Amino acid sequence: MKRWQGRRFSLMTFVIRDRKIIDTLKIMTKQGFTLLELLLVISIILAIISLIIGLVLISLNITRKIHCANNLRQIYLATKIYEEEFGAPPWFPKHFVTWKPEYASLLICLSDPYQGNLLKDIHDPKAFIPHSYFFNYWNDYHFVRLPRKNIHGPKEFTEKMLKQFWYELTAPDGHWFVCPWHSLAVFPDGRVGRARRYTGADFENPENKLR
C-alpha cells in the first residue's frame, strides 16, 4: 500500500510539473516576441554570419598564399632543371611553357585579378603566355649578357639598370621570382620569403611592364 502511494505521489508530481511547463509555454506563445527581442536575435545571427564569412575569407587567403609560395618554389626548381638541360634559364614564359606545357598553371597566382593577362596588350598575342609573376632571374640573366651595343638608352641609366640586375642575380636577398599579389619572393638559395620590392603597385607600373 505504501509502495503504491509513493508511486501515485510521484505520478501526481510529474503531472503537476508537466502542467506548469505547458502553462508557461502557453503564456510565452500568447505574448510572442517583442520588437526588441526580435532585433536582438537578428543582430546575433548577422554577427555570427559575418564572423563565419570573415574566417572563410582569411582561410581562403592563407590557402592562396601557400599555393602561390609553392608555385614560386616549383618555378625555381624547374628553372634549375631547364638550366642543366639548355645551359641557361629561359628568357620568357613562352620558352618555359614550350619546354613543359604542363607548367603553364605554375605561372598564375590565384589572387591575381587579371589571371596573368595584365601585360597581354603589349606583347605579341602569338608569343604571350599569361603570367602573374616577375621572372627577374630569367630576364636579368640574359640582359646582363647582351652586348652593350644592343642596349639602347642613356649611359647613366643603362649602367644603373645593369647594376640593379647584377644585384638581383648575385645578392643573398636578390628577388629571383616575385609574386606582387602576395609580396612573396624566391631568393637565390631557394628560400621563399617576404618580398621587399616588386609589389602589386610596381607590377602595374608601366616602367616594369617589360618584365
pLDDT tens profile 98-113: 999 999 999 999 999 9
| Domain boundaries, position 195 | 60-208
Q: What is the pLDDT of residues 86-143, one digit of tens each?
A: 999 999 999 999 999 999 999 999 999 999 998 888 888 888 999 999 999 999 999 8
pTM score, whole prediction: 0.71
Please give the tally of structural domains in the chain.
1
Which DSSP category does 133 fall into? S
The one-letter code for the residue type at 46 is: L
Q: What is the pLDDT of residues 7-63, one digit of tens each?
A: 444 444 444 455 555 555 455 545 556 778 888 888 999 999 999 999 999 999 999
Q: Is 46 among the domain residues?
A: no
Q: Is 16 among the domain residues?
A: no
DSSP 3-state assignment of 211? coil
Query: How far apart (Å, rounded) are the C-alpha atoms in residues 11 and 5?
Result: 10
Q: Is 18 among the domain residues?
A: no
Q: Is 13 among the domain residues?
A: no
- Ordered alpha helix ranges (H), 87-135: 93-99
Q: Is 169 among the domain residues?
A: yes
Is residue 197 very low, low, confident or very high in pLDDT (cuts 50, 70, 90)? confident
Query: How far apart (Å, rounded) are the C-alpha atoms in residues 181 and 157?
Result: 28
Grid coordinates representing 46 are 548577422
